[in-house]
Chain A
Amino acid sequence: DIQMTQSPSTLSASVGDRVTITCRASQSISSWLAWYQQKPGKAPKLLIYDASRLQSGVPSRFSGSGSGTEFTLTISGLQPDDFAAYYCQQYNSYPWTFGQGTKVEI
């Protein structure tokens, strides 16, 4: 199985900050990577797919980059609505696997 390792586990930031979350795959997954946002008590929401493609309706302050084994999610200009947990997921091969998550807190 492909292991996905996210860092950091928790990130403290302020409104307006630029925030970067890293996701590493244990083997190459090409660009088959998605990023999700999850708020407490809610279902996850797709932000980025194909490593860098913004899902329709997602604000442009979210961006993704990377390929192979190293990926980043960047939030440029953190907004109050962005304080949440973020997960990466590889869908290169089964079983699809998630990173352990990054909580972005104030």
Chain B
Amino acid sequence: QVQLVQSGAEVKKPGASVKVSCKASGYPFTSYDINWVRQAPGQGLEWMGWISSYYGNTNYPQKFQGRVTMTTDTSTSTAYMELRSLRSDDTAVYYCARASRYSGNLDWGQGTLVTVSS
């Protein structure tokens, strides 16, 4: 069965960077894209960007451009999301999702809590 297993919770200071991993299994990794979505405490879902697992090209919303980098390692079927210059309002649960251009976010990781606090 499809599984997306994310790395563990992180606590970071303002200005630091965080890199979250997402290891996929149960499907051909390069046949689907990966989306990253975050959810601040008590808030809704926010799309952070997309990476093609096959080509490696990305698309980020303007809000995160210059601060986020998404990558994949096809040899280990793992996707990564790095967010830099962290602020307190970046405190959120970060999710990866297996995505299809034709059916949205099919399967989701369990989420990684990133807490930004001095």
Contacts and interface: CB of A to CB of B under 8 A. Distances in A.
A40 to B, nearest CB: 10
Contacts, number: 61
Chain B, interface residues (CB within 8 Å), range = 20 to 34
B59 A36 contact: no
Interface in A90-105: 91, 94-101
Interface residues of A, number: 23
A89 B61 CA distance: 15
Contact of B108 (A34, A43, A87, A91): A43
A43 B111 contact: yes
Contacts of A1: 61
B102 interface: yes
B47, B49, B106, B109 pick with most chain A CB within 10 angstroms: B47
A101 B37 CA distance: 14
A8 interface: no
Nearest to A89: B104
Interface string B28-49: 0000000101000000111101
Contacts of A50: 102-103
Interface in B60-84: 61-62
Interface string A62-89: 0000000000000000000000000101
Interface of B: 35, 37, 44-47, 49-50, 59, 61-62, 95, 101-111
Interface of A: 1, 34, 36, 38, 43-46, 49-50, 53, 55, 87, 89, 91, 94-101
